[in-house]
Amino acid sequence: MTLDAENTLTTPTDPEGLAEVAGSPARQTLAAGLVKVARPHQWLKNLLVFVAPGVAGVLLHGPVLGRTVAEFAIFCVSASGSYFLNDALDAEADRRHPRKRNRPVASGVVPVPLAAGLGSALLVAGALLAWPVAGWRLALVMALYGVVNVAYSLGVKHEPVLDLVAVSSGFVLRAVAGGVAAKVPLSNWFLIVASFGSLLIVTGKRSGEKHLLTTAKTDHGDVRQTLASYSSSFLTTVRTLSAAVTVTAYCLWAFERASQVHPGHDPVWFQLTIVPFVIALLHVVRLLDAGEGAAPEDLAIHDHRLQLYGAVWVGLFAVGLYLA
């Protein structure tokens, strides 16, 4: 599968996260199958494009907001393209799987040539649509996103460590695309926070998958080949490293941002954002350590403590940016 087509493992009763198609394939229409393959529920992660212009304090500026919303839509197009291409490339293997065979492409509801054609067209369209929004730089980011997805699908997904890096890059490219679309400079510390924060979440996802598969007594390699290559101690080490770098880089970014916004005057509001940031990150690390990271998007939607920490962070940052 492509790096963005990874369906998270959700429950021990569906340890492979593959119960994507309700009912018999025979009862599905082509239109319904196309929608399922496009996976609109996964577009939530595309909200990352709003982060860079948001922390730069320019998101609500008319032209910037328009370009960022356009980039969000473009990423939805490209992400769905990766899902179509993934299912087309994996169709033959999926047909031999007791659950994956019910996917729209594998079951024949959506023809393989149609899925492959749509996937390729949507990925190309994402790069082409980006050009008029913010020029060749944004088009390059979207083209790179497409290349990484294709490379992941064709073999990188089977390479230990590289698969973690590839999946993480999908999140980082979203954050970068937001900055490029808004035409705001991206701090080195911001990029480090985005990179290692993404690596933390992806590694936590792998830990959650191993936890669920162990609970369900399912062979890890049968679901995701690289899972068999990762020991629990290795994943814990990567999570610890990622969390440490993320916190360090965020602290440096917060002090840097304070000096940029208030040169010669330090009201400490940006520094105070370190407190909810670290508390939220520790909360996430605790959940990941308990094996609850298989579906990270569910944490963002349903974890009220995490939402509270996020709201406090937004409040402190807004005061530092607009009122201090």
CATH number at residue 12: 1.10.357.140
Q: At what angle do helices 304-318 and 274-289 cross, to 10 degrees?
A: 160
Q: Is residue 36 located within the same domain as residue 180?
A: yes
Question: Helices (DSSP H) in 112-226: which residue ranges?
Answer: 112-134, 136-154, 162-182, 188-215, 220-223
pLDDT at residue 21 above 50?
Answer: no
How far lies 165's CA from each of 19, 28, 147, 282, in Å? 27, 36, 14, 22
Q: Is residue 179 located within the same domain as residue 191?
A: no
pLDDT band at 139 (very low <50, low <70, confident <90, very high): very high
Look at residues 186, 202, 237 and tell me which one is the last residue of a structural domain.
186
Look at residues 170, 186, 202 and tell me which one is the last residue of a structural domain.
186
3-state secondary structure (DSSP) of residue 324: coil
pLDDT band at 218 (very low <50, low <70, confident <90, very high): low
Contact 149, 80 (CB under 8 A): no
pTM of the predicted structure, to 2 decimals = 0.84
Per residue in 160-198, pLDDT tens?
999 999 999 999 999 999 999 999 999 999 999 999 999
Q: Is residue 175 located within the same domain as residue 204?
A: no
Rg of the Cα atoms in the chain: 20
Q: Is residue 28 located within the same domain as residue 141?
A: yes
Amino acid identity at 307:
Q
Q: What local confidence, expressed as pLDDT, does residue 208 receive? A: 85
**Closest by CA position to 173, among listed 128, 121, 126, 235:** 126
Q: What local confidence, expressed as pLDDT, does residue 293 receive? A: 73
Look at residues 156, 186, 216 and tell me which one is the last residue of a structural domain.
186
Q: What is the DSSP letter of 218?
A: -
Spatial separation of the C-alpha atoms in residues 111 and 126, rounded to whole Å:
22
Q: What local confidence, expressed as pLDDT, does residue 65 receive? A: 95
Q: Is residue 171 located within the same domain as residue 194?
A: no
Q: What local confidence, expressed as pLDDT, does residue 219 receive? A: 54
Q: What local confidence, expressed as pLDDT, does residue 144 receive? A: 96
pLDDT band at 6 (very low <50, low <70, confident <90, very high): low
pLDDT at residue 12 above 80?
Answer: no
Question: Domains in the chain: how many in total?
Answer: 2
**Closest by CA position to 80, among listed 38, 130, 36:** 38
Q: What local confidence, expressed as pLDDT, does residue 217 receive? A: 57
Per residue in 79-135, pLDDT tens?
999 989 888 887 876 776 556 678 888 888 889 899 999 999 999 999 999 999 999
Q: What local confidence, expressed as pLDDT, does residue 22 receive? A: 42
Identify the domain containing residue 301 by its residue range.
187-324
Per residue in 222-244, pLDDT tens?
556 788 888 889 999 999 999 99
Q: What local confidence, expressed as pLDDT, does residue 97 receive? A: 58
Mean per-residue pLDDT for 12-31?
52
Q: What local confidence, expressed as pLDDT, does residue 135 receive? A: 92
